[in-house]
Amino acid sequence: MTTYKILFLDIDGTILQPDDTIQESTKTAVKLMKNQEIEVFLATGRPLHEIADIGETLDVHSFIGYNGAYAVSKGEDVLKEPMSPELVKTYVEIAKQQKNELVLYTNTHNLLSNPDSPILMEFAKKFHLKQNKIFSEEEAANVLGITIVNVKSEDIPLYEKFANVHLSQVNIEGFRHSYDVISDKVNKGIAIAKVLDRLGINQKEAIAFGDGLNDKEMLSTVGEGFAMGNANEKLFAYAKHKTTSVTDSGIYNGLKSLGLIK
């Protein structure tokens, strides 16, 4: 029987329900894993400076943020990979031409292409982005991740024509016009591999839960990858397991299926 040592959990659509609450079963599941000395990481596309409250609620102190560009294990940096400043500036120009909006994430704050844009204001409210400033080119070298908002299908190839970059649709109702920018060289899976190496944990001893296409590398990297019942249907091909939805104790039931919860 495999001894599991680490658990990676996406946030939106995996921990957080559509109303931004966390089921009691999820809180119980995380507590039970910690009681078994299983290390728990939150692994998200969100900036780390905006998820402290979720970490406090779950008593979790290790994180992978910005879709894998920054990883912290109990306060110690494991990985930090800013985006290419040239690519950032190019994306800003494309967004301006196509009338898209951008949220660019640094280690300490969020940069908005147009803070007065109603669609950006709605996005910031939904994802509780509070540390916001207007983007300036001087910040281009500090960007760890980008979300493109108000994207039309014909816009996508303009952003994906660059090497080693693709877009991942945000899997949240009402915000599927938004896409995270994912680097093939910087993603949750690569960050997890670095965390496992740092902590001396085997891939087979790791578990992960996710719901969006930005989770495909994460689920492919661990020994036990779970796609939530509410996941993007394309994610199931990358998951070893399918669990119930975020509103139906998906994390709890998945861990129970591994025998970690009786």
- Mapped onto helix, strand or coil, the DSSP state of residue 251 is helix
d(CA 245, CA 133): 35
Position 183 scores a pLDDT of 87
d(CA 53, CA 122): 20
**2: confidence class by pLDDT, cuts 50, 70, 90:** confident
Of residues 173 and 209, more confidently modeled? 209
- The correct CATH number of 85-183 out of 3.30.420.40, 3.40.50.970, 3.40.190.10, 3.30.1240.10 is 3.30.1240.10
- Mapped onto helix, strand or coil, the DSSP state of residue 225 is strand
Kindly report, residue by residue over 95-134, the tens digit of the pLDDT.
999 999 999 999 999 999 999 999 999 999 999 999 999 9
**190: confidence class by pLDDT, cuts 50, 70, 90:** very high
| Tokens representing residue 43 in the block | 């692994």
The average pLDDT across 53-71 equals 96
Quickly count: other Cβ atoms within 10 Å of residue 164's Cβ. Answer: 11
Kindly report, residue by residue over 132-167, the tens digit of the pLDDT.
999 999 999 999 999 999 999 999 999 999 999 999
Domain 6-81+186-257 class, CATH top level? alpha beta
d(CA 38, CA 42): 13
Position 236 scores a pLDDT of 98
Position 201 scores a pLDDT of 97
Domain boundaries of the chain, sorted by first residue: 6-81+186-257, 85-183
Angle, helices 24-35 vs 250-257, to 10°: value is 40
Kindly report, residue by residue over 215-254, the tens digit of the pLDDT.
999 999 999 999 999 999 999 999 999 999 999 999 999 9
Kindly report, residue by residue over 74-91, the tens digit of the pLDDT.
889 999 999 999 999 999
**184: confidence class by pLDDT, cuts 50, 70, 90:** confident
User: Which residues on neighbouring strands pair with residue 149, listed in sequence order?
Assistant: 101
Tell me the average pLDDT of the chain. Answer: 96
76 phi-psi bin (left φ>0, alpha ψ -120 to 50, beta other) = beta
CB 18 within 8 A of CB 175: no
Phi and psi dihedrals of 131, rounded to 5? -90, 70
Position 112 scores a pLDDT of 97
Position 9 scores a pLDDT of 98
Phi and psi dihedrals of 237, rounded to 5? -65, -20
Question: Is this prediction's pTM over 0.75?
Answer: yes
Beta pairing, strands 145-149 & 101-105: antiparallel
Domain pair 6-81+186-257 / 85-183, same fold = no
The average pLDDT across 16-40 equals 97
